[in-house]
Structure 1
Amino acid sequence: MAPPFRMDQIGSLLRPKELLQARVSLSSPSQMYEVANDEKIKQAEKKAIEDVIQKQIDLNIRPVCSGEYCRHIFYGGFFETLDGMTPIPDLPIPDAFRTDFPTTTGLARMGAKTRAAVVCTGSIRWKKSAYLEEWNILRGGVPEWQWKELKITMPAPNYQHIQLKPGTAFTKDSGYSTDEQYFQDLGQAYAQEIKALYYAGCRNIQVDDPHLTYFCSSQFLGGCKKDGVDTDALLDLYLESHNIFLRQKPADLHMGMHLCRGNMSGSTHWVSGSYDQIAEKLFTKTDYNTYYLEFDEVGRTGGFEPLRFLPRGKNVVLGLVSTKKAELEDPKVLKGQIYQAAEQVTKGQRVSADEALDFLAISPQCGFSSSSLAGGKDMTMERMWEKLALVRDTAKEVWESF
């Protein structure tokens, strides 16, 4: 199975100033789980999405995404819509979080004293779709035959659990006594959300799980050791949390997982480290079709060697174009990197170079605006579109049938 597109994107785009102005009352990090019910804000979001859809179509950018313009931050909109999940805007740093957790230690260095999270306080139940409204705006911007060219994103099931202090992701009153029970019900909620999107015509979903790269970080692993946490077992728990809903997905629904190391305001990243430490488990113990992996900076991401673990029938989208740096990449360098990546797939699968290329595609390494107010240093709207066009043109040159 080849990836749906030889070029791809991670989903979030820089917000237009008109949208930021409309959503200014929701721009505080403490309000990141607040749902915008103001009709003026909703109209501004709808207009911004319609405009960005047309821009992508005009430039032949695929897949077409909403830019996550309905969300303050990429993981917003899901957990807080579930029964049994309670947003808490001001959990104390560091006491409420894992020891030496890279995100909270980084925020603390910036002066943050609290961080928002969602804690389970009752039985987890899906009651309404979190992203159906966003999907309906997205699909409304193209004719039905083009719905297959659209993609929507959602956060990973472990997003809340991994950051919170061990044993605090669910309360004693929630009815859960084990992590497995918590993730089983959460997985069923994901399955229902995915089915709601599927029945509305969605055929391409990306799940964002940047925290899995923390298992490549000595800081995170060291903090878990201080907390008495078995990181091998924790990684297995999280991979299985994805499979709970992946096993239930329709056969013709493409699902991919995006991993990165952070792209917050000013090009901030939280961790470094090669995928080597997680690649074999990631590729073989999750039921995704495609993995979106960042490879834009060897010192932070490591090289392509982990791709030797990619099994046949699965794909990797190579995140080679930086959303952290405004400088445009050299197309010749990008093409060389694609062929280097293919060499590792060739070694692992013992296939020809052409066959190895069939399992690959290219994209930016992350979204351009993980939150409404965050973006790469010196990144502009104009440069964002130039970078996406560069991805498009490079893909066309490497994969002639694109």
Structure 2
Amino acid sequence: MAPPFRADQVGSFLRPQELLDARSNLASAKNIYAITDDDPRIKAAEEKAIAWAVQKQRELSIRPYCSGEYNRHIFYGGFFEKLEGMTTMPELPILAAFRTDFPTTTKLAEMGAKTRAAVVCTGPIRWKASAYMDEWKTLRSNLSREEWAQAKITIPSPSYQHIQLAPGTAFTKDSGYTNDKQYFQDLGHAYAAEIQALYDEGVRNIQIDDPNLTYFCSSQFLTGCEKDGTDAEALLDSYLAAHNVFLKTVPPDLHIGVHLCRGNMAGSVHWVTGSYEHIAQKLFHHTLYPTYYLEFDDAARQGDFAPLRFLPRGKNVVLGIVSTKRPELEKMEELRAAVREAAEVIAAAQGVEPSVAAGCLALSPQCGFSSSSLAGGKGMTMEGMWEKLVLVRDAARGIWGDHGAV
């Protein structure tokens, strides 16, 4: 199985200033989950920005087409807050309401934050209407019907709220749930409904964003779990199982992959470090995804390619080796060498030639260019962003243009 695109992208772009101006009232952390569907000024700015981004992608032959996540203030916005049974808590105390030593909240606390917004389950979880249909319809309105299959939409992971909240607080007693399995079962059904709704309207490529799975590679997070009395391995197993609840229902002609990174907040801030070694075998073997988007641009942050030895035949990895955190443009030969190295690791483990192993690989930036409206790599500009995406395009053409040889 080959990945759908040899040159891919994670989906979030730097925001045009006109869009930032229209959404300036959402800059506060407590407004992250604000629903702005009925604000005509914001909607018009989003539509204009997406039309511009699509045209730019078309001119530069960059695929898959993405909306830039211009409908969202932050990459995980728009889903949980629209589910029945979910209640937005805009100002939870940042240390008391969240997991002990949770990397995101501890770093935010160091920056001076006192509260953080989250979405807590207060009743039975039910899908009412598509969270991302407007985003998809805006994106596809700028495409021919034949181009719909060349587009991708992103959805946050089912574990996003649960992993950050203090143990036992992701759902209340009034929710009707008594354990995590019940919570994730209904949440999985909501994901299945969202995915089916998007599929019915023409979506054929979805990326689930789950940066928090990399927290299980972090000694800080694992130590915090110990302090909370949480079995980290059991927690990881429950999250992987939560993905499979909806993956079992995916139509056969819908591609769906999962993206793991460590964040790209303002000033190139990332949340955790640590190799995929601790989670790779379970990630590849215990989830039903065909494709994994993994960041590999900085060995000090995420280690080397060794964990790819766990990749089973028939699955793909999109190598995020072009940085969205640094404005400097990578060298083509460095990208080629990185793909060759990754292919050799996979080839040795699978007992195939490196040229065969390269067939399950693709290239992308390591993270989105802007995890939230005001985030992004230090020194990264709009011009630099497009140069990076063109580099990924050209590198992929050079590597796989000759029958997959590296």
Normalised-by-shorter TM-score class: over 0.9
Corresponding position of 2:358: 357
Q: 1:242-284 deviations in whole A, cap 9, x for unaligned?
A: 0000000101100000001111110001110000000000000
Aligned residue for 2:234, secondary structure, equals helix
Corresponding position of 2:22: 22
Shift of 1:27: 2.1
Amino acid paired to 1:202: V
1:2-401 alignment runs, 5 A limit: 2-36=2-36, 37-400=38-401
Aligned residue for 1:154, secondary structure, equals strand
Q: Which runs of 5+ in 1 are unaligned?
A: none
Moved over 6 A (4+): none
Cα RMSD (Å) of the superposition?
Answer: 0.7
Shift of 1:84: 0.2
Aligned counterparts of 1:91 and 1:301: Cα–Cα separation in 2: 30
Amino acid paired to 1:278: I
Aligned counterparts of 2:73 and 2:267: Cα–Cα separation in 1: 17
Aligned counterparts of 1:29 and 1:137: Cα–Cα separation in 2: 26
Aligned counterparts of 1:316 and 1:170: Cα–Cα separation in 2: 34
Q: Percent identity?
A: 66
For normalisation by structure 1, the TM-score amounts to: 0.99
Aligned counterparts of 1:270 and 1:42: Cα–Cα separation in 2: 31
Shift of 1:40: 1.2
Aligned counterparts of 2:23 and 2:360: Cα–Cα separation in 1: 40
Shift of 1:352: 1.2
Shift of 1:188: 0.1
Shift of 1:289: 1.2
Aligned counterparts of 1:349 and 1:239: Cα–Cα separation in 2: 24
For normalisation by structure 2, the TM-score amounts to: 0.98
Q: 1:307-348 deviations in whole A, cap 9, x for unaligned?
A: 000001110000000000011111111110000000111011
Work out the number of aligned pairs and report it. Answer: 402
Q: Which runs of 5+ in 2 are unaligned?
A: none
Aligned counterparts of 1:135 and 1:244: Cα–Cα separation in 2: 23
Aligned counterparts of 2:107 and 2:193: Cα–Cα separation in 1: 35
Aligned counterparts of 1:215 and 1:320: Cα–Cα separation in 2: 21
